[in-house]
Amino acid sequence: MPNSIVTRRDVIRYTAGRVAIAGGLTAVVTMIFLIADLGTDPQALVPVGKVATASMIVALSVSIALSGALSFRSALLMRQLALTRAELMRVSRTDPLTGLLNRRGFDEAAALLLAQASAAGQRVVALMCDIDRFKAINDRYGHDAGDRVLARIGDILRDFGTHNDVLIARHGGEEFAGLMLDVSDEEATRYALALCRLCSTDVTGGGVDVPVTMSFGLATHLPGGDLPALMRRADQALYRAKDLGRNCVVQIDEVEAVAVC
């Protein structure tokens, strides 16, 4: 496969090379077939029917061989292109530091899940959380330590989401988002409390231990609402958790916000 076809000249050179190869192979194969079937004496008398039959066999054989080779090559190129597109799509939707979905990936996946849940009549609870006093962590321990904290929290959230069927993403900076389907408010609260405890930890690395806690906000999807409205309500619950002293969970329902830890 060509390593690089960038300019128009590259395209012309590549095409000319393949045409030359195809023409040369056709000539060689035709010569071999004709010599094998008709002999090497150019003055020999050969029945017209034999010549026609040999020509048809040569043309058919060359056509099959070339079309097969070109089709196989095209299939390989198409496969490589499909894999490249899939990888680019995955990268564009993945946060490189934590390995979680990024905001774009979350919005696309969450919108699809929300539509499916609505069609199936399932309840949806959104989660927003962020690392408490993350700027102070960066200021005191350095940005490398901050990255280690983000990566560790990402691992905790990803493992929890995988085992409990919760969509989790890094929403931006030190903020993370989640979506839980077909759960009651009590179940969602229990999940958030479990995460709050798991994320209350020390992150070790670079010769320092960084104490970490997180605050969580929950909001139930309301009939007729969309994803942005749902996430805004979860964000409001998160800010309420911050106001209450951090390292806790606040759930907001149709009426009010309720602290649960």
Catalytic residue among 108, 174, 254, 256: 174
Rounded Cα distance between 65 and 13, Å, is: 23
- For residue 220, report the phi and psi dihedrals to the nearest 5 degrees: -90, 140
Rounded Cα distance between 124 and 185, Å, is: 9
Rounded Cα distance between 38 and 45, Å, is: 10
- For residue 253, report the phi and psi dihedrals to the nearest 5 degrees: -110, -160
Judge whether 174 counts as a catalytic residue: yes
Closest CA to 230 of 117, 133, 131: 117
Q: CA-based Rg of the chain, rounded to a whole angstrom? A: 32
Give catalytic residue positions. Answer: 174
